[in-house]
Structure 1
Amino acid sequence: MPETITLTVNGQTYQVDVEPHALLVDVLRDKLGLTGTKKGCGTGECGACTVLMDGQPVNSCLVLAVRAQGKEIITIEGLGDPQNLHPLQKAFIKNGAVQCGFCAPGMLLSAKALLDRNPRPSEKEIRQAIAGNICRCSGYVKIVKAIQEAAAELRGEAAHDGV
């Protein structure tokens, strides 16, 4: 039997009718039209469905939508927009860190969570933070470089090699 829940997504409040077993990824995509959150493996292994819940990266394919009630959810649509890209988005584009683009939403949100809690991450910390996000197109070098450049920009520093 459907239940009406209230979700706060990207700063906007939604009333949504969901089945008790509905997954957050499906509600975001199918009920709210936020298709930037990708549905990949469905088992929490690939990270394509990563969103931020109260600032923490979570695999939305493993979260029941009813469990997201009362939480602040950020999807890729809430990170930036074409007229006002987030520094991470700019750095990913500049460094060619987006290839097919399937992993990018989850990768960007995992990186944002890292930079929100640690503005000066080491390469090892960056690699650990994105370890739950699989990219089949890259060797992660450009992704790590982009995150380092975005971190420098967010700190108000000029990015350079060896940031």
Structure 2
Amino acid sequence: MYEIDVNGEKRQAEVEAGTPLLWVLRDTLGLTGTKYGCGIAQCGACTVWVDGAAMRSCQFPVEAVGEAKIVTIEAIEQDEVGRKVVEAWVEAQVPQCGYCQSGQVMAATALLKEIPQPTDQDIADAMTNLCRCGTYNHIASAVRRAAA
């Protein structure tokens, strides 16, 4: 049994050691906004925050969470910067299929919390999540809009 702090609430998960945080969030806690993409921490669809840092949850074992605070896409708008990012995403009409967007929003919000006025290079360096629809220009535009 693991107790983890998710979106400001202590939640219990009866799972085996080694279970990726992604599956705890989705299958055990019912927080399905975080998506499975590649399973090897490359695509970023599974990005959540672990103590404010963007983390790919598909390769992050539940026992490594410890006392860390986990934030998922379901609670991102409770954060002022997260709310601005979501608004910018809508205004810039970023999503096409939308599958990767929860991970993209989590990564963009983490970037803006660390670097409130990022350069284009900062955006390129931080936004490494994959988008099969190729909305990278819209994503960068939305990040710039949220920073303004």
TM-score range, shorter chain: over 0.9
- Identify the match of residue 103 of structure 1 among 79, 100, 105: 100
Count of paired positions: 145
Amino acid at match of 1:127: A
Amino acid at match of 1:63: F
Equivalent position of 1:129 in the other structure: 126
- Identify the match of residue 44 of structure 2 among 43, 47, 55: 47
Q: What TM-score do you get using the length of structure 2 for normalisation?
A: 0.94
Equivalent position of 2:75 in the other structure: 78
Tell me the secondary structure at the aligned position of residue 116 of structure 2: coil
Q: Which has the higher helix share?
A: 2
Amino acid at match of 2:147: A
Equivalent position of 2:66 in the other structure: 69
CA distance in 2, matches of 1:146, 1:135: 15
Equivalent position of 1:142 in the other structure: 138
| Contact 2:48–2:57 (8 Å) recurs in 1 | yes
Q: What TM-score do you get using the length of structure 1 for normalisation?
A: 0.85
CA distance in 2, matches of 1:87, 1:138: 22
Relative to 1, partners in 2 of residues 1:16 and 1:139: Cα closer, same or farther, differing over 3 Å?
closer
Kindly report the root-mean-square deviation, in angstroms, between the aligned alpha carbons of the 2 structures: 1.2
User: Which stretches of structure 1, 4 residues or longer, exceed 3 Å deviation after superposition?
Assistant: none
CA distance in 2, matches of 1:63, 1:95: 31
Tell me the secondary structure at the aligned position of residue 14 of structure 2: strand
What stretches of structure 2 of length at least 5 have no aligned partner? none
Does residue 70 of structure 2 align to residue 58 of structure 1? no
Q: CA deviation at 1:93?
A: 1.0
Tell me the secondary structure at the aligned position of residue 78 of structure 1: helix
